[in-house]
Every structure is written in structure tokens, then in C-alpha cells.
Structure 1
Amino acid sequence: MPSPRKLILVHEPEKACLERLIAAGYPSARALEISSYLAQSTDLAPEFDAIAEACRARGLSFAPVMLDDAAGVLAGEDPEAVLVWTLTDGIAYFRGGAAPALARLGGFDTVGADDSLFALCQDKFRSGAVLGALGLPVPQAGLARDGKWLVEPPASAKGWFVKPNRLGAKIGIWPDSRVADLDHALELSRRVFAAYRDDVVVQPYVAGRNVRASFLGLTPRTGVEALGVAFVDSGGDFQTMADSLALYGETGEAAKATGQYAEPDLVPVADSQPAADARIREIASRLMSGLGLRDVFSIDLRVEPDDTVHLIEFEVCPGLPCFDFRAYCRQQWDLTLAEAMAETAASRLAG
């Protein structure tokens, strides 16, 4: 008799990461900042019951599994009946990239890209090189470690933007992450190395508004037409660590309690710049066909007033419980996040 169908969601909790980083010698404040990138595990946990109910309504069960328990849990499951969805990625500070590799080892189908992309997206310098080789409009980059160039950045009349190579995403950490001279960039690399033990990517500064493109394929046949493309207007040129902390997880809850929480505005790009929207969809299509993005992902870009598009990065584990992805599920699919996850899982398990 066939085993009952099941969705297993593998997630790495903030608390487990925080304790591991402190044990590795990180100061508590820095460890808290780093672990905050796992806030989607914290933010989604209160909805596990809703996801389970949405799955039951579609004939499957749901099991959230902490990353450290994943190997043991998967060892007792039937690969023919189980689908694995990895909530958090990571190859350095975080370890979620191990989950799709474990699933592949056990013969389980997964939601999302294969495990090679889980590793690539977490190294901004290497992923930028691959994106450039695919002919995509990603800024060239230099790489610095603790005040020394590993790769010198290209010249830039508008200055440069400095961000960690493996920590989190596109944020600049501090308000002075846009720099006018390369000595300042090297100073930031020393600060990042001292605080987070990471290299920095140094890219020519690109102007424009921030854009988030979100994708969830409710069925395996869903294509780029389902991409949601929106300006993310927060009032600032770029997101800092402080901005990120105020939006998500336990620190985000504290910000809500003190009235300091404010979600950025989401405005469809197609409403004012349809040519840029079309170009972004071309980029997403190229990422799907040439790089292998599928099922669920997000892309961060900058769009200039003349419709010039700059690709900043891609994410294989978009922040599902974040305001922007929830809005995407409502607008594109007319579903809550829990319903959209369950519908996606059911369509994969049925096929």
C-alpha cells in the first residue's frame, strides 16, 4: 500500500544558530545580528498549524523539521511519498544548504533549485561571475579581505558599494557602505572582517530604485508569467543591518511593540515602467533556463528611470513569511502563504 503523501519543511532556527556562533567565539551582539537572517524560521513557526490544515485539505500531511534533526527524520521516510522544502539556505554562517543535499542523497524530490545553487547564491563574488558569464546585467565586482584586495574592483565614476560576500544578502551593513574612494572600501573590509569574519564584495555603485521579483510555481508547468515584479520603496537608497533587524524575527517583533516597524511600499514596476518589467522577466527566464532556478525564488534588482536594469542577486530561499512574498501570494495567486505552500506541494506530489 502506498505511503501517505507528506510535505517536510526543513528549517534552521535562529536560536540554534545563535548558540552555535557564540560557541564559535562570536560576540553576542554580532552573533545576534548574523542569526537574525534566519528570522523567517521564527516568523513562520506560528503558522505551522495553518500550513498543516491547508495540506490536510489537499490530501497530504505536513511536518516541520529542524535542520539538526533532518538526517534522522528523512532516513525513516519513503522517498516516493515525501517532498522536501528547505526554508533556509547557507554554507557559511548558516547550514540550510545541507538540506537539499540530504534530500538528494536519500532520493527525495524537493521544492526549489538543486543543491549546487544553494551553495552558489551564498557566495556573491562567485555567483556574480557566473551571472556575468550568462550575459546578465550584473555589476562587476572586486573582492577584499581584511583590508587587502584579492581582486581589485573596476573603476567607477559614481563610487562603489561595499557588502559582505557570504553574510545575508545585498545589505551594506552600515550607512557608509556607499563609498567615494577605495581606501574607504578597504576600511569597510577591515570592519566587516573584524565583526563577521567575512570578505567584502566591492561593486560600482548603480543608481535606481530597488526591485524585488518573486516567484512561486504552484504547478511544475508555471512559467515566468507568474513572476511578481515590484519596486520596494523604503525611503532609503539601500538596506542596512539596522533596517533588516527592524523588519523580521524577534527584533522585528520588538520593533512592532515600540512602533518602529514600518513595511516598505510595494509598487508594481509595470505600472510606471513596463519596458523595465519586460526586461526583468527576460532576466528571470534566463535564470530559469540557464542557471536552473525553479519552483520558488526571488531576484533583487535596481531599475533606473530610463529602464536600465541591474541584476544584484538571486535567492533560492526567499523570505516566505516576509511582507513582500505574502503580498505576492495574495496578488498573483489569491492565496494565503499557507495555502500557496500547500497547493505547491500538492501539485508536486500529484505529479
Structure 2
Amino acid sequence: MAVALPELVLIHEPEEACRTRLAAMGFEPDRATEISSYLAQSTDLALEFEDLAGACARRGIAFSPVELDHAAAVLAEPHADRRRLVWTLTDGIAYFRGGAGPVLARLQGLPTIGSDDTLFALCQDKFRSGAVLKALGLPVPAAGLARDGTWIVPPPEAAQGYFVKPNRLGAKIGIWEDSQARSKARALDLSRRVFSAYRDDVVVQPYVTGRNVRASFLAVRPDAGPEALGVYFVDSGGDFQTMADSMALYGGTGAVAKADGLYVEPQLVPVADLQPAADQAIRGIAARLMAGLGLRDVFSIDFRVEADDTVHLIEFEVCPGLPCFDFRAYCRREWGMSLPEAMAATAAARLTA
């Protein structure tokens, strides 16, 4: 009797499933497309499932991609004859539902790649997440919270104005070229626009200067720590990335942009090459997040870094955009692997140990 191979189960929510559900909730088609673009990594990585399956097979494990709507049934299947490992590709607790992935795995007693399910919920609420990060003593900008033109929590005074973004949406959704507001009144105007389009609150933070930095992490080796972070300036040509920028890079809308010659990949520059002190500060913050908050296995952290090495922690993601240009570059530079090879190696190190 053949022995079943250890299995990597990759749970993901497709863009189309999200659009269909949003349409049923009464969202306009254009808004549903914008919101569902957060799930573009499902669209992009699906093109490489065959490569990922091959990379897994070379390491003696099976690969099973599972759409979120089928995950409960698949994970409930008897598995006593094989080891199974669950990797949740797409998260979400409001517009998206991927946060159910690690919960379903825990319900079935299955091990997971990634942080525990409490962090899946926390990182999707920027206001609550910021409060927790602040309590840990990390350098997070203070924040206010507004809903449809009304302050729930007013922000502090800010001489350089404010930055306004939806509270529960990712992938730059609801961030426009005018999302930097000079006054609290203007911030409230933006909160009305966000609520009208997306039915979401907005986080209002004092605007911080500096360059955008992305720190990416994948524990190909189970014992990898902050030294394995890839810490890069991400220069997209603007002060901050907008929703339009994001939609031109990934998923179905990104494919159209590439076909039309509109795709411009941002530049990545190692922070250590230009500001080594800032690089070390970022790795120290990541170490505190791993020890104090429980980040592990795979995540990304966004920062703003000023010329004098002042570091501002903006937010973290437990389901970073794996097929995105920056994470692919990280896998190549840090681990010397393609994305499918790095994912397979990460899973195999846990399944075959």
C-alpha cells in the first residue's frame, strides 16, 4: 500500500469570488473591482501552481491549492495517513475572508505556516493594530479614527498635515493622490468619500516624511530570524503608492496595464547600502514584533525612513503579496530561489523534519 505524501494545502480567496459577493452586498461594479484587487495574488500565483507543485514534488511533498469556499470541507477530510500543513495565502476579516483559513486549520488540529489567527484579525484593523503596536513601545504614528465625516477619535495636532487611509482595506485601496490632507477638516472630507465608496472608517495619522521601506520575511529555514529580513527602499516615483499604482501592478488589472505598456515596476534599493543605522533599527523592530507580537514564518512590515535614520513603523501584513515584485526579489536575493522554490522549501522543512 502506497504511503501518502506529506501535503501542503494552500488556501486562497479568488478575486472573482470576492467580486460576486460584493455585488450581492450592493457594491457598485467599479468599487467591487477595486476592493477585490486586494486578492490579486490569488490571480497571479495561480499561474504558477504547476511550478509550485513541481517544486514540492522534488522535495517529496504534495501540493493542493484550495479555494477558500471549499476549505472547510477539504480540511475536514480524514488525514490520519499523512501530514498536512496549511498555508493561507490571502487574509481578511471584513471585505475578504481569508482570516478564516488558519482558524479552520486550528479547528482540525492542523499545523500552519504563518502567524496565528489572532494576528490575521489584528493586522486587518489598522486602528486597533496601531494601538497594540504603540503599547509595545514601537514608533507608530499616533492615529485618529473617523467615520463618514465624524470623529470617533480625533487625531493629534500635526503641523505637516495628515495621511488618510481606509481602516480595513489593503493594497492601497482608497488611497488617492490627495490622501495627504492639510487639515482635520479635509481629513473628514476624505472620510466621507471613503465611506461612500467602501463603507469603511478611515485612520488619520500625522503625515511623516521620508522614503517608503518594505521589510519582507520568509523563514525558509525554520530557525531564521531578523537577519533573514529583506529590507528595501521601494521607490515608485511618488511620495506614496496610490490605489491606481497598486492596480497597475497586480492581478487582472495589472495584466491589462502590462499589456498596454503602463506597468512600471518600482525600484528596490537595500536600506543597508544607504542608511545602515536605519536598517539595523528596522531589524530590531522586527525582532520585537516576532518576540512580543508573535509574527513568524512569513510577513512584511512597512516603514517610512527619514534622512536622519528616524524610522516610523506604518503597518504589518501576515499575508504579504508573495507574487509581488518585491517579495520575488527578496526570495532571489536572500534565499537564491524563485518564489515557487522558496515556498516549497519552506513547507518541506516543516513537513519532512
TM-score (norm 2): 0.98
Is the Cα contact below 8 Å between 1:171 and 1:239 reproduced in 2?
Answer: no
Is the Cα contact below 8 Å between 1:173 and 1:240 reproduced in 2?
Answer: yes
Is the Cα contact below 8 Å between 1:170 and 1:313 reproduced in 2?
Answer: no
Q: CA RMSD in A?
A: 1.1
Q: Secondary structure at the match of 1:230?
A: strand
The residue that corresponds to 2:35 in the other structure is 34
In structure 2, how many angstroms separate the alpha carbons of the residues matched to 1:243 and 1:183?
A: 26
The residue that corresponds to 1:44 in the other structure is 45
Q: Which of 243, 264, 269 is the equivalent residue of 1:262?
A: 264
Shift of 1:239: 1.2
In structure 2, how many angstroms separate the alpha carbons of the residues matched to 1:128 and 1:348?
A: 32
Q: Report Cα offsets for 1:28-69 as digits up to 9, x if no partner.
A: 000000000100000000100000000000000000000000
Q: Which of 212, 216, 219 is the equivalent residue of 2:218?
A: 216
TM-score (norm 1): 0.98
Shift of 1:3: 4.0
Q: Secondary structure at the match of 1:319?
A: coil
Q: Secondary structure at the match of 2:47?
A: helix
Q: Secondary structure at the match of 1:301?
A: strand
Q: Secondary structure at the match of 1:76?
A: coil
Matched, 1:134 2:136: yes
In structure 1, how many angstroms separate the alpha carbons of the residues matched to 2:163 and 2:99?
A: 27
The residue that corresponds to 1:78 in the other structure is 79
Bigger shift: 218-227 or 316-325? 218-227
Q: Which of 317, 320, 333 is the equivalent residue of 1:315?
A: 317
In the alignment, structure 1 segments of 5+ residues that lack a partner are none
Q: Secondary structure at the match of 2:140?
A: coil
- Which residue identity does 1:34 align to in structure 2? I
- Which residue identity does 2:87 align to in structure 1? W
Q: Secondary structure at the match of 2:124?
A: coil
Shift of 1:123: 0.0
The residue that corresponds to 1:196 in the other structure is 198
In structure 2, how many angstroms separate the alpha carbons of the residues matched to 1:116 and 1:242?
A: 30
Taking the TM superposition and a 5 Å limit, the aligned residue runs for 1:67-216 are: 67-78=68-79, 81-169=83-171, 173-216=175-218
Q: Secondary structure at the match of 1:122?
A: coil
In the alignment, structure 2 segments of 5+ residues that lack a partner are none
Is the Cα contact below 8 Å between 2:71 and 2:101 reproduced in 1?
Answer: yes
In structure 2, how many angstroms separate the alpha carbons of the residues matched to 1:243 and 1:140?
A: 26
Q: Secondary structure at the match of 1:188?
A: helix
Is the Cα contact below 8 Å between 1:228 and 1:332 reproduced in 2?
Answer: yes
Matched, 1:275 2:263: no
- Aligned length in residues: 351
Shift of 1:240: 1.1
Q: Secondary structure at the match of 1:215?
A: strand
Is the Cα contact below 8 Å between 1:171 and 1:238 reproduced in 2?
Answer: no
In structure 2, how many angstroms separate the alpha carbons of the residues matched to 1:257 and 1:48?
A: 22
Taking the TM superposition and a 5 Å limit, the aligned residue runs for 1:335-350 are: 335-350=337-352
Which ranges of 4 or more aligned residues in structure 1 deviate by more than 6 Å? none
Shift of 1:253: 0.4
The residue that corresponds to 1:286 in the other structure is 288
Is the Cα contact below 8 Å between 2:172 and 2:246 reproduced in 1?
Answer: no
In structure 2, how many angstroms separate the alpha carbons of the residues matched to 1:346 and 1:184?
A: 51
Identity of aligned pairs, percent? 72
Shift of 1:170: 5.4
In structure 2, how many angstroms separate the alpha carbons of the residues matched to 1:44 and 1:10?
A: 12
Q: Which of 232, 238, 241 is the equivalent residue of 2:240?
A: 238
Is the Cα contact below 8 Å between 1:4 and 1:60 reproduced in 2?
Answer: yes
Is the Cα contact below 8 Å between 2:212 and 2:302 reproduced in 1?
Answer: yes
Q: Secondary structure at the match of 1:318?
A: coil
In structure 1, how many angstroms separate the alpha carbons of the residues matched to 2:224 and 2:243?
A: 34
Is the Cα contact below 8 Å between 1:113 and 1:293 reproduced in 2?
Answer: yes
In structure 1, how many angstroms separate the alpha carbons of the residues matched to 2:105 and 2:48?
A: 24
Q: Secondary structure at the match of 1:58?
A: coil
Q: Report Cα offsets for 1:120-165 as digits up to 9, x if no partner.
A: 0000000000000000000010000000000000111110000000
The residue that corresponds to 1:300 in the other structure is 302
- Which residue identity does 1:131 align to in structure 2? L
Bigger shift: 169-178 or 115-124? 169-178
The residue that corresponds to 1:54 in the other structure is 55
- Which residue identity does 1:269 align to in structure 2? V
Shift of 1:350: 2.1
Is the Cα contact below 8 Å between 1:146 and 1:193 reproduced in 2?
Answer: yes
Is the Cα contact below 8 Å between 2:171 and 2:243 reproduced in 1?
Answer: no
